[in-house]
Amino acid sequence: MRHFKPSLLATAALGFAFVSTIPAYAQAPATAVEAPKGTPWTDTRLDADTRTELLLKEMTQDEKLKLVFGHFATAADWLNARGDIAGLNWKPPVESHHQSAGFVFGVPRLGIPNQWQTDAGVGVASQVGDKPRLRTALPSGMATAATWDRDLAFKGGAMIGREARLSGFNVQLAGGVNLMREPRNGRNFEYGGEDPLLAGIIVGEQIRGIQSNHIISTVKHYAYNAQETNRFTASSNISDKAGRESDLLAFQFAIETGNPASVMCAYNRVNNVYACESDYLLNEVLKKDWGYKGYVMSDWGATHSTIPAANAGLDQQSGYPFDKSNYFAGPLKEAIENGFVKQERLDDMARRILWGLFSTGAFDKPVPVAEDQIDFKAHAAVTQADAEGGIVLLKNTGLLPLATTAKKIVVIGGYADKGVISGGGSSQVYGQGGNPVKDLGLGPKAFPGPLTYYPDSPVEALKARTKAEVVYHDGKDVKAAVKAAKGADVVIVFGTQWTGESLDAELKLDENADALIDAVAKANKKTVVVLQTGGPVFMPWLSKVGAVVEAWYPGTKGGTAIARVLTGEVSPSGRLPVTFAASLDQLPRPKLDGDPKSDTIRTQVNYDIEGAAIGYKWFDKKGLKPLFAFGHGLTYSTFGYSDLKTSTAGDKLRVSVTVTNTGKVAASDVPQVYVSAPASAGWEAPKRLGGWDKVALKPGESKTVTVTVDPRLLATFDSASKTWNVAAGAYEVILARSATDTASKTTVTLNAQKYDVRGK
Ligand code: BGC
């Protein structure tokens, strides 16, 4: 039960752990401020920049200071018990929303709204407590990335944003785009996988969807927050060049695609400087190089100073009293009076926050709480579509879709009779209908628990779709499960891996699932495995089973989505957004750095080992054979490719191909375009994903897809001149079904090209 012990970090440092009751503070109704009519900055015909400057001029020093200081919005006894703030008797502001992440005061006299912040990675989250709001959960971020579907990502974000707005929130802590450098990272489920283009675009689309509701979204956690072990103290060490070509590039794509009004800086240090006081990350890369106009908020507990943080480019301290001091309140005022922080810096902080409120529309469109207007039925369809699009069929010897002739289906384990699992931590969404495994005592009761299932049972959904008799066995007693499996036409074993914030995970299934699958598959060859995991796991039983379906954390309609894929009502169309390693020794760091029992150890994590060669790039470079490759995913039809063409008109590399559904059922394909540079170009790895498309085709139908490759994916970054440089030469353009399954290739000659730091 290794997963289920909250680490010292979770209890001592993060410490939501001890929140158990709602305190006796009065919960005031949320007040949505109407901007005073007739003032120049309320004129919506003016652009956000103009309105920002008009308003900024009117603000007093104390009003500006109000905007840059955020409060935690959940009552937590542990905070008052904490040594460094004992006696504070801290309570969340009465204007904040119960059990939410944060609150920042507005300025009613000028029409500046309060900022109500909620976590929103997969839906409107609630902090641990006894009155969570019950909302729609999308599948995990990893699952949405596995859809490779921009449209689904946008729609999912738009759904989150609608529920957030109607729940009274105008700032969403969403947009996790940390690349999977570490498959054991307990938060991989919140993120978009290992490739900067795929993660950046999918997460960017989700952010765009959220903000389409005239509210703010963050992108997070900036940057290199790739493991949970020692997350408050570890230093992620990496060179500028490698970062610009990987993790920073993912942020750049996400920001360009989604235009988030805020960036959340991370807990960890980067090259030994805290991310939230890194002049390099905040002032230089984000604001100067990329021209970012929004504001930087700290993660909860990630501000460590007043003067260094303010001067390095942090614009808003979040979640006080997570931090040890109210650095951006009185201390910031004093630092400005004493000249350690310039007045212009505070003006710039306020300007960026105002710009975020104006540019998204959050300033003009108040967010009164109107929960009864949430259309849960419509939102169920959104999350179901996302889950169906992200389920990856990893292996199939012909057992799927389930034969209509099957008379008896035995389903074993994973609480599949009750529902589907979700990931734990601050992103936790509590679903409508409650937690069907609550009383089974699973997982940690405290943060990052409680372990939460959504009551959409795969077994029930299967029963509704088959004439066969469906029998469920809980799998606790392996021998009894084997006995039950023996007479079945097909056996479906459910294996789960629960992961959560603040804890890294082992790459294996929970409880006895690996042994159970092995034993059942020995007894009945017709065994299908359905996985619900945060990310990659090992599969010691793989050769013995007939089919494997990766359903990730599939969200509030996950059981229905799984059943529809199993029966063939929909053809699976997900593709892996990460590499599944075959063993730990294939990883850049076979042993995870740091010590999960210590919350003071200054762990050094060397990301220059792999540099920009993350995931499939590392496997390619080292000639390693993964268990399942990045981009892999099967379906119930077959596809043919023809007319692979390239063009370089206007110095843009365009690749087109015609895709034909050559099989018997409707399905979607994901043609993937990789590019490979001549050796002289000095790339970090043999090839990079240059683009992709997802096409839904009926049997016999064809479509031509065209992919334009971003020049940064053809270039290397030069840190000295801050330019992207494409080397002249012959490049291979590889049309593929996955990073290891090439369909066809062609060669294109590119001229030497130079682009600025923004890829222009
Ligand atoms: C997490 C953030 C989250 C914040 C507020 C932190 O522990 O790292 O992702 O947005 O809490 O809940």
Q: What is the pLDDT of residues 185-225, one digit of tens each?
A: 999 999 999 999 999 999 999 999 999 999 999 999 999 99
448 cis-preceded (ω within 30 degrees of 0): yes
**Which amino acid, one-letter code, is at 227?**
Q
Contacts of 226 (CB under 8 A, 6+ apart): 178, 179, 180, 181, 182, 185, 236, 247, 605, 607
Structure tokens at 635: 């379906």
Determine the pLDDT at residue 650: 81
Determine the pLDDT at residue 35: 65
What are the phi and psi torsion angles at 118 (to 5°)? Answer: -135, 150
3-state class of 470 per DSSP?
A: strand
Q: What is the pLDDT of residues 374-384, one digit of tens each?
A: 999 999 999 99
Of 292, 201, 297, 208, which Cα lies nearest the Cα of 250?
201
For ligand 1, atom 6, name the residue with the nearest CA: 300
Annotate 460-482 with b (16+ C-beta within 10 A) or e (fewer). bbbbebbebebbbbebeebeebb
Question: How far does the centroid of ligand 1 lie from the alpha carbon of residue 221, in Å?
Answer: 9
Which run of H or E residues covers position 81? Answer: helix 77-81
Atom from ligand 1 closest to the CA of residue 266 = 8
Determine the pLDDT at residue 83: 67
Residues that are catalytic: 299
Atom from ligand 1 closest to the CA of residue 127 = 12
Determine the pLDDT at residue 86: 60
Q: Are 534 and 503 a contacting pair, CB within 8 Å?
A: no
Atom from ligand 1 closest to the CA of residue 231 = 8
Of 382, 376, 413, 420, which Cα lies nearest the Cα of 558?
420
Q: Provide the phi-psi class of 173: left if phi over 0, else alpha when psi is between -120 and 50, else beta.
A: beta
**Residue 365: CA atoms inside 13 Å, Cβ hemisphere, count?**
16
Q: Are 560 and 176 a contacting pair, CB within 8 Å?
A: no
Q: How many CB atoms lie within 10 A of CB 271?
A: 17
The rounded distance, in Å, linking the Cα atoms of 638 and 618 is: 29
Contacts of 231 (CB under 8 A, 6+ apart): 9, 225, 267, 268, 502
Of 132, 158, 159, which Cα lies nearest the Cα of 433?
132
What are the phi and psi torsion angles at 605 (to 5°)? Answer: -110, 120
Annotate 86-109 with b (16+ C-beta within 10 A) or e (fewer). eeeeebbeebbbbbbbbbbbbbee
List, in order of start, the domains of the chain with CATH numbers. 62-373 (3.20.20.300), 637-755 (2.60.40.10)
The rounded distance, in Å, linking the Cα atoms of 725 and 711 is: 9
Which run of H or E residues covers position 606? Answer: strand 604-606
Q: Mark the ranges of the chain whose per-residue pLDDT is less than 70.
A: 1-35, 83-87
Sequence-ordered alpha helix ranges (H) in 509-606: 513-523, 558-567
Q: Are 188 and 137 a contacting pair, CB within 8 Å?
A: no
Question: How far does the centroid of ligand 1 lie from the alpha carbon of residue 14, in Å?
Answer: 10
Please work out, in degrees rounded to the nearest 5, the angle formed at the alpha carbon of residue 423 by the alpha carbons of 193 and 542: 65
The rounded distance, in Å, linking the Cα atoms of 518 and 413 is: 13
Determine the pLDDT at residue 28: 40
**Which amino acid, one-letter code, is at 76?**
A
Question: How far does the centroid of ligand 1 lie from the alpha carbon of residue 414, in Å?
Answer: 28
Q: What crossing angle do the helices spanning 330-337 and 343-360 adopt, rounded to 10°?
A: 130
From 169, 172, 217, 299, mutation site for ligand 1 pocket: most ligand atoms within 8 A of C-beta: 299
For ligand 1, atom 11, name the residue with the nearest CA: 300
Determine the pLDDT at residue 130: 83
Structure tokens at 395: 């292996």
Of 607, 628, 473, 611, which Cα lies nearest the Cα of 549?
628
Atom from ligand 1 closest to the CA of residue 319 = 5
3-state class of 260 per DSSP?
A: coil
Q: Please give the model's pTM, rounded to 2 decimal places.
A: 0.95
Q: How far is CA 550 from the centre of its chain?
A: 17
The rounded distance, in Å, linking the Cα atoms of 142 and 188 is: 7
Residue position matching structure tokens 């009155």: 131
Q: Are 418 and 455 a contacting pair, CB within 8 Å?
A: yes
For ligand 1, atom 8, name the residue with the nearest CA: 299
Please work out, in degrees rounded to the nearest 5, the angle formed at the alpha carbon of residue 100 by the alpha carbons of 99 and 101: 130
Question: How far does the centroid of ligand 1 lie from the alpha carbon of residue 256, in Å?
Answer: 23
From 119, 127, 210, 503, mutation site for ligand 1 pocket: most ligand atoms within 8 A of C-beta: 119
Binding-site residues, ligand 1, Cβ < 6 A: 101, 119, 173, 220, 299-300, 426
For ligand 1, atom 5, name the residue with the nearest CA: 101
For ligand 1, atom 2, name the residue with the nearest CA: 299
> Cα dist. 99→102, 564, 755 in Å?
9, 35, 47
Question: How far does the centroid of ligand 1 lie from the alpha carbon of residue 426, in Å?
Answer: 6
Structure tokens at 147: 């859809």
Q: Are 453 and 554 a contacting pair, CB within 8 Å?
A: no
Determine the pLDDT at residue 76: 75
The rounded distance, in Å, linking the Cα atoms of 301 and 305 is: 11
Atom from ligand 1 closest to the CA of residue 426 = 12
Determine the pLDDT at residue 84: 67
